[in-house]
Amino acid sequence: MEDRRRILEMVREGVLSPEEALELLAVLEDREEGRAEEGLTPPLVRLVAQGAEVRVVGEKGLASPRAEGGEFRQEGEGHLFRLGVGEEGRLWIPEGSPVHLEAKASNLELSRVALSGQAHGCNLEGEELLGLDLRLVAGNLEAGLLLQEGRHGLDLKAANAELRFLPPSDLLLEVEARLSSLEVEGAWTRAPGGYRLGEGRAVLRVRAFASNLEVEA
C-alpha cells in the first residue's frame, strides 16, 4: 500500500508519467506475488530518511537492532528508524537482515544487509549487500554485492549505478535498458536473457531508463 501511494505521489509531482506509473504498478504486483509464493522474510527495519545522513551496519552475532540518532521504535513485528532533514543516525542490525528503504535527498551507507525499497535523489554506498530489490530515481548507487541465491531487482530512472559482484557471487544478470548506457566487465559469460556469473543460481533483473549502469565481477 505504501509503495502504491508513493507511485501516485510521483505522478502528481511530475516525476513519473501515467504510463510509467502503470508499468511500476504492474511490476509491484508481480513482486508481491513472488514474495507471497517464496515466503520471503518481512523487513526487520523500515528506514525512512529525508535529507539525512545514515549508516546501517549488519553485525554478526547481534541479537536485536539498536540505533543512535533519529527516531527508533517498534513497528508491528519489526522496527521503524526515521530521520529528518539535517539529522545523522546509525543503525546496527543482525547481519543479513532485511531493510526496507524509503528515502529522499539523503546520503546512506549500508553494509552486510539485504536492501529493498525506494530512494529519490539519494546517494547510496553499499558494502557486501546480501540482497537487493531497489528503485532509485535521480540518484547514485555504488555497491559491492554478494548474491548467491534468490531473485533480486534494481529499477533505475535518471540514475547512475556502479555494481561490483564479490566472490562467491553466483547469478544471472538480466538487463533491460532504455535510453541508457551499459558497461559489463569481468568474468561474465553471455547467457539467454543476459550475463551469467558462475552457475547463475541467483537472478538479478535490472531495468534502466535514462540511466548509466556499470557492472563488474
Number of independent structural domains in the chain: 2
Q: Which pLDDT score, from 0 to 100, does residue 111 have?
A: 98
Same domain, 159 and 92: yes
C-alpha cell at 120: 529519490
Same domain, 190 and 91: yes
Same domain, 23 and 98: no
Same domain, 176 and 77: yes
Q: Which pLDDT score, from 0 to 100, does residue 2 have?
A: 57
Q: Which pLDDT score, from 0 to 100, does residue 32 have?
A: 53
Same domain, 49 and 35: no
Range of the domain at 140: 41-216
Q: How many CB atoms lie within 10 A of CB 36?
A: 9
Q: 109 CB contacts (<8 Å, ≥6 apart)?
A: 54, 55, 56, 124, 125, 126, 127
Q: Which pLDDT score, from 0 to 100, does residue 175 have?
A: 95
Separation of alpha carbons 69 and 56, rounded Å: 12
Same domain, 57 and 11: no
Same domain, 21 and 76: no
Q: Which pLDDT score, from 0 to 100, does residue 38 have?
A: 43
Same domain, 30 and 46: no
Same domain, 139 and 180: yes
Q: Which pLDDT score, from 0 to 100, does residue 146 have?
A: 97
Same domain, 112 and 31: no
Per-residue pLDDT of the chain (217 residues; tens, 9 = 90+): 456 677 777 777 777 787 777 777 776 665 555 444 444 455 689 999 999 999 999 999 998 899 999 999 998 889 999 999 999 999 999 999 999 999 999 999 999 999 999 999 999 999 999 999 999 999 999 999 999 999 999 999 999 999 999 999 999 999 999 999 999 999 999 988 899 999 999 999 999 999 999 999 9
Same domain, 21 and 60: no
pTM, full prediction: 0.80
Same domain, 16 and 99: no
Q: Which pLDDT score, from 0 to 100, does residue 7 have?
A: 74
